Chains A and B, each alone.
Chain A
Amino acid sequence: MQALPSTSANSPHARRPRVWGWVLLAPMIAWLVLFVILPMVILFVYSFCTRDDLGRVVFEFTFDNYRRVGDPIYLTILGRSIAYAALTTVLCIALGYPVAWFIARQREAVRNTLLLLVMIPFWTSFLIRTYAWITILKGEGLLNGLLLAVGFIPEPLTLLYTPFAVIIGLVYAYLPFMILPIYGSAEKLDNALVEAAHDLGAGPVRAFSEVIVPLTWPGIAAGVLLVFVPAIGMFAITDLMGGARVPMIGNIIQNQFSKAFNWPFGAALGVVFTFMFILAYALIQRRGARDPHS
């Protein structure tokens, strides 16, 4: 993880910005201030408020929302969400890395076509895609039908509404977000380099694991970031394919703004969740900066 993209900020060739460096960055800073920091401030203020009976915020200071966040139940739920996200990330790397590498080895026109083909399935609607998966995985579904016909299994398996289905759904949804960044950094690798490694006596597997993979670390790290982080908050897939039997942190937060009519507590959960992420991210960044290997 030492190669998180952040380290580019510490690139040895980076200079101190002069006027233009700041002027050009200004639009992005403005964007961040307006649409990220300000909403976060609103959220932060809300999290210390009480509510009226419509769930609306009443500006009256309280610390109760944070006291409730400390309940161990929310920690277990967060732990579960993180575990699912981590498993998804690992599987996405395993499935996606060879694909990214293979696409990167093609001619440019073919490369772009293949990249588009990776993404196009996701231009349909999420619900319709998920219902297609339900059609495949259900008790009398296509997969069971196929396995029964081949004689692989004596009776239909229970696939749908299990953790297995959830993982399939999550991997399916996030796989492209692993393939694309890895492709971005694998594309520039020179074949000559790979061959050189091979010429020096490394077998294909060693050449791959000791030369190629380290060179694409930035891509893998970016992919991990783009898959792992959003997957923690995901709950639509766990609801639809897992039967909503176990709550995820995303459900909990969503509920506070809807059924539970408790915006301030939802805000407090959101604040804690976001700050935990910021803290973890900052720690990893710091370690990455200290580690000269990256």
Chain B
Amino acid sequence: MPTPTASRPLLPSGLRLLNLGFGVWTVLVFIFLYLPILVLVAYSFNTSKLNIVWEGFTFRWYADLWSNVPITRALKNSLIIASFTTVAAVVIGTGGAWLLHRYRYRFSRTLQTLICVPMIMPEIVMGISLLVFFTVINLELGFLTVILAHVTFCFPFVLVAVQARLQGLDPALEEAALDLGASPLKAFWLVIVPCLRPAIISGALMAFTLSMDELIITVFTNGLGSATLPTVVYGMAKKGLNPMLNALSAIFILTTIAFVLFSSHLRKLSTR
């Protein structure tokens, strides 16, 4: 695929202006997205234990974080659950989108609608019905049940994102690969998947985020030792969401951002 930047200087001036406008807009939207994050990080240095009104500056909460086992364990649980969920959701979602695109099943439309049902189903309804279901089949509540529940509401997001991408896909692409002697599986893996990559990445990001932030379904499907960060945070609201939670979020967010920027910097160096 040609990199867009290569052709950008050739863009007509009007379009360049449009691009510039969109760039400024994007900066503004990023400010909107990160405004609460800045506040959140700032308040991680608040001396007030209730962390509602600003009182003074301290590093105390970062130190306290090391000794608070439940919170760090909950973050670890959340990451484990979100990672497994993402992988499963991407596999099911991408595969499903491709199959529904390539083949005309007798129940294609019904399937399509069913896939979207987890998005509309109220969380508590899904949480309770899954709780009843897991109990009936005698599956002990824990990591597995939480992951099963999360995959169920995450994979439709991947599927829908990938389908949108597939709609503009040139059908000749797969045929060409098949004509060149590739097996359908190889054609899918080597030709289609790379084409779908932006949508798959989008879908994966959405699935990971949804799983990290889900509260109600998690509450009804988790068991001993599988408490996630949202469930712990929600429980803490009663006593006051103390700045330790902000400190945890701050560390997590900042290391992730540093990691992302650093790795893209590395890649830039290596391609040079």
Contacts and interface: CB of A to CB of B under 8 A. Distances in A.
Interface of A: 3, 5-11, 13-17, 20-22, 24-25, 27-29, 31-32, 34-40, 42-43, 95-96, 98-99, 101-113, 115-129, 131-133, 135-136, 142, 172, 175-177, 180-181, 183-185, 187-188, 191-192, 194-195, 198-199, 203-205, 207-208, 215, 218-219, 221-222, 225-226, 229-230, 232-233, 236, 249-250, 253-254, 257-258, 263, 266-267, 270, 273-274, 277-278, 281-282, 285
7 contacts: A5-B163, A8-B97, A14-B102, A95-B29, A113-B260, A124-B37, A254-B216
Contact of B116 (A183, A229, A254): A229
Contacts of A109: 264, 267-268, 271
A54 to B, nearest CB: 14
Contact of A123 (B33, B36, B168, B252): B252
A226 B40 CA distance: 27
A139 to B, nearest CB: 12
B30 A274 contact: no
Given A9-B109, A191-B7, A132 B40 contact: yes
Contacts of B171: 11, 13
B141 interface: no
Contact of A38 (B99, B105, B133): B133
B26 A99 contact: yes
Interface string B245-272: 1100100110011001100100110010
Q: Which 8 A-B pairs have the closest CB atoms?
A: A39-B129, A132-B36, A204-B14, A184-B199, A180-B202, A222-B164, A17-B103, A124-B249
Contacts of B96: 25, 28
A181 B161 contact: yes
Contacts, number: 355
B10 interface: yes
Interface in B208-223: 208-209, 212-213, 215-216
B222 to A, nearest CB: 16
B114 A194 contact: no
Nearest to B188: A24
Contact of B164 (A120, A184, A266, A278): A184
Given A116-B205, A232-B120, A142 B105 contact: no
Contacts of A278: 113, 117
Contacts of B3: 107-108
A128 B245 contact: yes
B142 interface: no
B65 interface: no
A228 to B, nearest CB: 10
Contacts of B90: none
A147 to B, nearest CB: 15
Contacts of A96: 29
B247 to A, nearest CB: 11
Given A109-B264, A257-B124, A198 B15 contact: yes
Interface string B68-106: 000000000000000000000000100111011111110
B259 to A, nearest CB: 9
B167 A35 contact: no
B186 interface: no
B161 A42 contact: no
B100 A8 contact: yes
Contact count band on B: 35 or more
Nearest to A29: B111
Nearest to B93: A28
B163 A8 contact: yes
A222 B166 CA distance: 12
A268 to B, nearest CB: 11
Nearest to B91: A27
A43 B40 contact: no
Contacts of A285: 109, 112-113
Given A39-B133, A177-B206, A232-B120, A208 B4 contact: no
A32 B115 contact: yes
Given A102-B26, A103-B26, A43 B103 contact: no
A226 B206 contact: yes
B101 A36 contact: no
Contact of A222 (B19, B29, B160): B160
Contact of A273 (B116, B122, B203, B264): B122
B125 A253 contact: yes
Given A31-B152, A180-B205, A5 B123 contact: no
B188 to A, nearest CB: 10
A180 B161 contact: yes
Interface in B179-215: 184, 195, 198-199, 201-203, 205-206, 208-209, 212-213, 215
A208 B16 CA distance: 12
A110 B264 contact: yes
B39 interface: yes
Given A132-B39, A218-B168, A6 B120 contact: no
Interface string B1-13: 0011101101110
B176 interface: no
